[in-house]
Amino acid sequence: MFFINTFFLGVSLSMDAFAVSVCKGLSMKKFSRANALIIGGFFGFFQAFMPLVGWAVGKQFARFVSSFSHWIAFALLAFIGTKMLIEAVKDDDKEIPEGMDYKELLILALATSIDALAVGVVFAFQGTKVLPSCAIIGIVTFVISAAGVFIGSRFGAKYNKSAQIAGGIILIALGIKLLLNGLGVF
């Protein structure tokens, strides 16, 4: 069950990176496997690293909030999931950046992994195995982001909104599951 939950968490967290990867793919005149791997690597690394940072911060406070940590986990995941849903249904046209700019890629990878930082705090409160979780999240994000570049270069932004909606719903569902577990429902 640990692997399945963490896998779906990784899928959910990677939806922002997927959306950006699709945009990067759209901006390529011709698909490049090397660029897809580089972009996937940037996003995968930050999605794996940020929960570790959040866990380290959260671990300092876990003993003070352990009795109501399930509420904190629920609130954080529900907030992140709702934010993803709202961003997905907004009707704004974003400019698609051109080419491969490593500074921009670094900023994008950092920005899309802020949600993973909050999840790391949840890991500390829930006593989650942090290193395997971070590895799974990083690998899932790497694969999904690299695929996003390919999809963007082939199909455009057709599936971008659906992927963000699915990611938001999965995060909210995971938050509800953690809350119900913490309340002893199951």
The reported pLDDT for the residue numbered 51 is 95
Whether the model pTM is above 0.75: no
pLDDT of residue 96: 45
pLDDT value, residue 144: 97
Using alpha carbons, list the distances in angstroms from residue 67 to 59, 63, 111, 150.
14, 9, 31, 45
SS3 75: helix
Q: Is the dihedral of CA 108, 117, 53, 138 positive or negative?
A: negative
* pLDDT in single tens digits along all 186 residues of the chain: 889 999 999 999 998 889 888 877 876 777 889 999 999 999 999 999 999 999 999 888 767 766 777 787 788 778 877 887 887 787 555 544 455 678 888 888 888 888 888 899 889 888 899 999 999 999 999 999 999 999 888 875 556 677 667 767 876 887 788 788 878 887
Give Dmax (Cα) for the chain: 54
Every domain of the chain and the residues it spans = 16-182
Read off φ and ψ for residue 114, nearest 5 degrees. -60, -40
Q: Which tokens hold the place of 147?
A: 């695929």
Q: Which pLDDT belongs to residue 163?
A: 67
